[in-house]
Chains A and B, each alone.
Chain A
């Protein structure tokens, strides 16, 4: 309780943003995509599904920064997220982590072989498994609990 209060006090802006993002999540994607995603999350082990829009690696931060609101495809962010673990703050953390992982791995791969591309990742952690399919523009993350 106290924790909640403190967060709401310290981060009033993020709180409002948070609710905004929730609203966003509630506005449904096209039915086909919706059904595809719901099928993914209908797997017993799947705990969350998230689609990220990626920041184009070529664009420097300075170009993306001034127009975060107007740029449509050039900015990264959560396009769609389902499952408790991917909602709210923890979802943002995962989004950040995944984005970073993909970026770094992609970079490292590029150093090994420039013609190669990162296509698919499974990251098994003690608790979960992250299944990541990166694309140039988008990124699909599925978190599952394979132990069950």
Chain B
């Protein structure tokens, strides 16, 4: 369509150009004629023209072609010389050539006349030049010039009234231009054929004009379109290219793959990204879950359970074949728990000891793995530096790992006589943010305190001995604990079964070292764990502590300093012929195997948990029952070594370290561990009555304190 139009436009433009040229020629000739006043040379032709003119005047409808030629000549002359006024008067149907104002003028005059010389549109340009001289002559004689301008004005007025012009800006409307032209032709059907021809002519010319305008538009538009097309093509090409490339490189050669596998940043990437992905996978919640759809098995069986297994941390590569020796929750990140492990006899190439940091949001693998040249027996997060983890090893080394560093310890103590040379089972960080020490105890009775950033040698050493013991003065420390907010005085559990109080520093009442006067007797076998009451809540029970032992019992003690019946105890023990000692407040004898650990619940004053060699986890509530645990769960067939309640405000989760290398994570029903307000007062009553009953039994029967107390206090 546009092509056709373009062609048309091209033609028109050519015609217009010719016209213009012709006019210029004529003007030049006119100028010549006016100076020469009747040139001689055109005379020959002019005679014929005169004849023609006469003829046309006499018989207008005859020979339209000739008439046209004459008329056109006349009309052409009009603008230049002003004869058109006369022409309009004399020759109505002159019908002009397109583009000349004279044409318009004649058209005006034409309106009045009915007669018309049809086929004016066919008037050849060739006829113009011959007619020129005649016009010249006419011009000379014509006195009326200004009238023509009036005509012109009218013409101009008529121009804008044409409906076609403004609609030529878009392609679609350009096509309709031709249509509207034809309709206008039809409209003017009432007029003479001649008029129609004129109109068509003019229209065409106008089209030419407007076409020229649109052409610019069109050209820009076409250019734009082309540009767009080019761009889209380019894009397509690019995409194709990319696709092709991807297609090509999608098949990496074996060499390439090996090169990638060998790259160090690749393994680092795999390590990191899989960790992230596994966290995401552990999340396990479907974000677009639709609860409007019924789910089979509507009830979770474990919903009513008091405790339920949340997960079990283990790693085939690292933890299989080892046992968990200690557990500690991160004080900073409540989802992280560190577990220490002993040696795996079947993995000779692996480090003897490891520490794994597990994440509740990353169930399938440890967040960090730390190596140790020797079995790690105790582990603790630094409460003041959340990235630091301390470990005590079987060889007597204290190791420090940093989660920002790699597997190997960033600091470790030398294996020298200045530090530990025996297994470190007890470890505790005490002090404040600005002044803190790591206290470690080894089985040879040595207590060391360390600065966390200086492990080259201990800050203090304190060898503990029991000179009063009848066989040996050695104390094999298996565990220690400090009361809440206490940094100097601590209690240790020993292999022989006694619990001693010790001071780090000299005090007014006692010297540094073991207080051999105060012996907490009761256990008949090595102590496996000591835990002081957390001392939170309305009443302070921080003088209470629990101990677990290989003798299948867990005992509740009250420290001597605050013990009101201290003297009585001493006396009663004196009756037994011992060097002195303090009896327990109560003994829990529900276990039928070694009890390996005991821990108070961090927030409930009366709740504590125990783990034993049968793989059983017991949860006790003294306010509820002092004889049997409120919950007893067999976690695994193998022994549980350690337990640790998490450090969140609720402490719903408990980690259980098993001798099969797994860390079981249990959720405790909130009801069981959420303390009521009166829980502390009840606890106080219970403690008082326990103490009272024990007093009674010691007064009545010597020995068998615990069983008596138990039956009485049922």
Q: Which A residues are within 8 Å of any B CB, using their own CB? A: 14, 17, 20-21, 23-24, 27, 29-30, 32-33, 35-37, 39-40, 42-43, 45-46, 51, 53, 55, 61, 64-65, 68-69, 71-73, 75-80, 92, 95-96, 99, 119-120, 122, 124, 131, 133, 135, 137-138, 140, 142, 144, 146-147
Partner of B364, one of A39, A79, A137: A39
Name 19 A/B residue pairs within 8 A (Cβ), A-sorted: A17-B251, A23-B254, A29-B257, A29-B261, A30-B267, A32-B267, A33-B267, A36-B271, A40-B274, A45-B284, A55-B245, A64-B249, A68-B249, A124-B287, A137-B265, A138-B266, A140-B274, A140-B277, A146-B287
A36 touches B280 (CB 8 A): no
Chain B interface size range: 35 or more
Are A140 and B254 neighbours in the complex by a CB distance under 8 Å? no
Q: For the complex, give the distance between the alpha carbons of A45 and B267 in Å.
A: 24
Of A24, A36, A146, the residue contacting B270 (CB under 8 A) is A36
Chain A, Cβ-Cβ closest to B239? A100
> Does B296 interact with chain A (Cβ within 8 Å)?
no
Q: Is the CB of B245 within 8 A of A65?
A: yes
* Closest chain A residue to B262, Cβ basis: A30
**Smallest CB–CB gap between A130 and chain B, Å?**
11
- Chain B residues, CB < 8 A from A61: 238, 241-242, 245
Contact partners of A80 in chain B: CB under 8 A = 257
Query: Is B256's beta carbon under 8 Å from chain A?
Result: yes
CB B254 to nearest CB in A, in angstroms, measures: 6
Ranked nearest first, the 3 interchain pairs of A and B with the lowest CB-CB distance are A133-B273, A140-B273, A77-B249
Given A43-B364, A73-B259: A24 in contact with B276 (beta carbons within 8 A): no
For B256, the closest partner residue in chain A by CB is: A72
Chain A binding surface, main DSSP class:
mixed
Q: Does the CB pair A131–B255 fall under 8 Å?
A: no
Q: How far is the CB of A66 from chain B (nearest CB, A)?
A: 11
Which residue in A32, A42, A68 is a CB contact (below 8 Å) of B248? A68
Could you say which residues of chain B place their CB within 8 Å of the CB of A79? 252, 257, 260-261
A71 CB contacts on chain B under 8 angstroms: 256
> How far, in Å, is A87 (CB) from chain B's closest CB?
12
A103 to chain B, nearest CB (A): 10
| Minimum CB distance partner of B248 in chain A | A68
Q: Does residue B288 face the partner (Cβ distance < 8 Å to A)? A: yes
Distance, CA A41 to CA B241, complexed state (A): 33
Interchain CB contact under 8 A, B245 and A24 = no
- Inside 8 A of A29's CB, which chain B residues have their CB? 257, 261
Interface membership of chain B positions 234-253, coded 1 if the CB is closer than 8 angstroms to chain A and 0 otherwise? 00001001110111111111
Complexed CA–CA distance, A20 and B247 (Å): 13
**How far apart are the CA atoms of A48 and B317 in the complex, in Å?**
23
Q: Which residue of A lies closest to B363 (CB)?
A: A43
A142 touches B277 (CB 8 A): yes
Q: Are B257 and A24 in contact (CB under 8 A)?
A: yes
Q: Within 8 Å of chain A (Cβ to Cβ): is B281?
A: yes
Tell me if B299 counts as interface (CB < 8 A to partner A). Answer: no
Instruction: Identify A75's interface contact among B252, B269, B272, B288, CB under 8 A.
Output: B252
Known A124-B288, A131-B280; contact A33-B270, beta-carbon cutoff 8 A: yes
Give, as a whole number of angstroms, the nearest-CB distance from B608 to chain A. 36
Distance in Å from the Cβ of A138 to the closest Cβ of chain B?
A: 5
Structural contact, B286 and A46, CB atoms closer than 8 A? no
> A69 to B284, alpha carbons, bound, how many Å?
41
A27 vs B281: C-alpha distance in the bound complex, in angstroms?
Answer: 27
Q: How far is the CA of A71 from the CA of B253 in the complex (A)?
A: 10
- What's the least CB distance linking A48 to chain B, in Å? 12
- Do B253 and A69 touch (CB < 8 A)? yes
Q: What is the CB-to-nearest-CB distance from A147 to chain B, in angstroms, rounded to a whole number? A: 6
Is the pair A133, B276 in contact by a Cβ cutoff of 8 Å? yes
Of B242, B246, B251, B266, the residue contacting A20 (CB under 8 A) is B251
Q: Assess whether B561 is interfacial by the CB under 8 Å rule.
A: no
Give the CA-CA distance A35 to B271 in the complex, in Å. Answer: 11
Q: Determine the chain A residues whose CB is within 8 A of the CB of B249 once the complex forms.
A: 55, 64, 68, 75-77
A51 to B269, CA, bound (A): 10
**0/1 interface trace, chain B 510-546, chain A, CB 8 Å (1 if under):** 0000000000000000000000000000000000000
Give the nearest-CB partner of B289 in chain A: A147
**How many Å lie between the Cα of A99 and that of B274 in the bound state?**
18
CA separation between A144 and B288, bound complex, in Å?
14
Known: A92-B250, A137-B269. A72 touches B255 (CB 8 A): yes
Q: Are B266 and A64 in contact (CB under 8 A)?
A: no
B368 CB, min distance to chain A CBs, angstroms: 15
B277 touches A40 (CB 8 A): yes
Q: How far is the CB of B601 from chain A (nearest CB, A)?
A: 33
Residues in B whose Cβ lies below 8 Å from that of A95? 246, 250
Let me know if A92 and B270 touch, CB within 8 A.
no
Shortest Cβ distance from A80 into B: residue: B257
Distance A117 CA – B33 CA, assembled complex (angstroms): 86
Residues of B within 8 A of A30 (CB): 261, 267
10 more contacts with CB within 8 A, not counting A65-B245, A119-B276, are: A27-B254, A29-B257, A30-B261, A51-B270, A77-B252, A78-B251, A79-B260, A120-B280, A131-B277, A135-B269
**Interface digits, B294-311 against A, CB 8 Å rule (1 contact, 0 not)?**
000000000000000000
B508 interfacial contact with A, CB 8 Å: no
Q: How far is the CB of B390 from chain A (nearest CB, A)?
A: 28
Q: Given the complex, which residues of B lie within 8 Å of A146, measured CB to CB?
A: 284-287
Give B468 Cβ to nearest chain A Cβ, in Å: 57
Q: Is B365 among interface residues, defined by CB-CB distance under 8 A?
A: yes
Q: How far is the CA of A61 from the CA of B241 in the complex (A)?
A: 8
Question: Could you tell me the distance in whole angstroms from the C-beta of A59 to the nearest C-beta in chain B?
Answer: 11
Within 8 Å of chain A (Cβ to Cβ): is B278? yes
Give bound CA distance, A64 to B250, whole Å: 13
The answer to whether A24 and B246 touch across the interface, beta carbons within 8 angstroms, is no
Q: Is the CB of B250 within 8 A of A21?
A: yes
Q: How far is the CA of A54 from the CA of B327 in the complex (A)?
A: 41
Partner of A24 from B253, B265, B273, B287 at Cβ < 8 Å: B253
Cβ of B263 < 8 Å from any Cβ of A? Answer: yes
Complex-state Cα separation, A144 to B287, whole angstroms: 13
Q: Which residues of A contact B256 (CB under 8 A)?
A: 53, 71-72, 75, 77
Partner of A72, one of B251, B260, B265, B284: B260
Please indicate the chain B residues that have their CB under 8 angstroms from the CB of A92 in the complex.
246-247, 250
Least Cβ distance of A2 to chain B in Å? Answer: 24
Nearest A residue to B244 via CB reads A65
- Is B245 touching A53 in the complex (CB atoms < 8 A)? no
Nearest-Cβ distance from residue A67 to partner chain B, whole angstroms = 11
- In the complex the two chains form, what is the Cα distance from A35 to B247 in whole Å? 28
Q: Is A135 touching B281 in the complex (CB atoms < 8 A)? A: no
* Least distance between B598 CB and chain A CB atoms (Å): 35
